Amino acid sequence: MVICFGTQRVSLNIKPLCTLITTAFLFVCMGCMDPNEYKPEDPPQKIDPPEGPSALLPVQDALFRSEYYCQVMLDWTEVDGAQAYEFQVDTDSNFTYSYPWQGYYPPTIYSAVCFPPITTYYFRVRAYSDEWTWYTDWSDIVRFHVMPVEDDTIFH
């Protein structure tokens, strides 16, 4: 479009202006939400964790014999909705020398290598899900012993 002002000619391109007006009109007429007014949905509310797992193996005060090291199966009950389990094995009942190991769902069993012999170990486990506010409580602590093989031990 060309507009004349006296001796001055001014050339205007009104196509971008028409596009802008048309777009605004469509938003108003079609009831579209202004992008600046968008609010995301509330995040899902986390729930309290259920009761924690119970240790199944080893049984309390189990005795394992080994010359150098011992492989001990750790087993616990499954917790509905759990995505991961954390467990600790330590030589101190306060678990001051160990960091939790994490195993991802679904395993509820782990083979731990314990050494040296002549040691008492302690084991506990808990579960986690990102739908919960925190981990479950730790299971009851299980104590087990690894002792050296005696001279008169016979293996079959």
The two beta strands, 84-90 and 8-11, are unpaired
Both tokens of residue 2? Answer: 């060309």
Question: Based on the domain organization, do 67 and 136 belong to the same domain?
Answer: yes
Domain holding 9, by residue range, is 2-37
What is the CB neighbour count within 10 angstroms for residue 20?
Answer: 10
Question: Based on the domain organization, do 60 and 27 belong to the same domain?
Answer: no
Whichever domain contains 87, its CATH number is 2.60.40.10
Per-residue model confidence (pLDDT) at position 30 = 56
Question: Based on the domain organization, do 67 and 131 belong to the same domain?
Answer: yes
26 pLDDT more than 70: no
155, part of any domain: no
* pLDDT, tens only, 45-60: 999 999 999 999 999 9
Per-residue model confidence (pLDDT) at position 156 = 44
CA atoms within 13 A on the CB side of 47: 7
47, part of any domain: no
Pairwise CA distance, residues 87 & 53, whole Å = 10
Pairwise CA distance, residues 125 & 119, whole Å = 20
127, part of any domain: yes
83, part of any domain: yes
Minimum mean pLDDT range among 5-14, 47-56, 118-127 = 5-14
Pairwise CA distance, residues 3 & 93, whole Å = 91
Question: Based on the domain organization, do 59 and 118 belong to the same domain?
Answer: yes
Q: CB–CB of 123/74 below 8 Å?
A: yes
Question: Based on the domain organization, do 28 and 64 belong to the same domain?
Answer: no
79, part of any domain: yes
Q: Which residue has the higher pLDDT, 127 or 116?
A: 127
6, part of any domain: yes
CA torsion 121-127-130-134 (nearest 10°) is: -80
Across residues 79-100, what is the average pLDDT? 89
105 pLDDT more than 70: no
Question: Based on the domain organization, do 68 and 119 belong to the same domain?
Answer: yes
46, part of any domain: no
Question: Based on the domain organization, do 63 and 9 belong to the same domain?
Answer: no
Q: CB–CB of 148/75 below 8 Å?
A: no
Number of domains in the chain: 2
Per-residue model confidence (pLDDT) at position 108 = 84
Q: CB–CB of 53/94 below 8 Å?
A: no
156, part of any domain: no
Q: Of all helices (H) and strands (E), which one includes residue 76?
A: strand 70-76
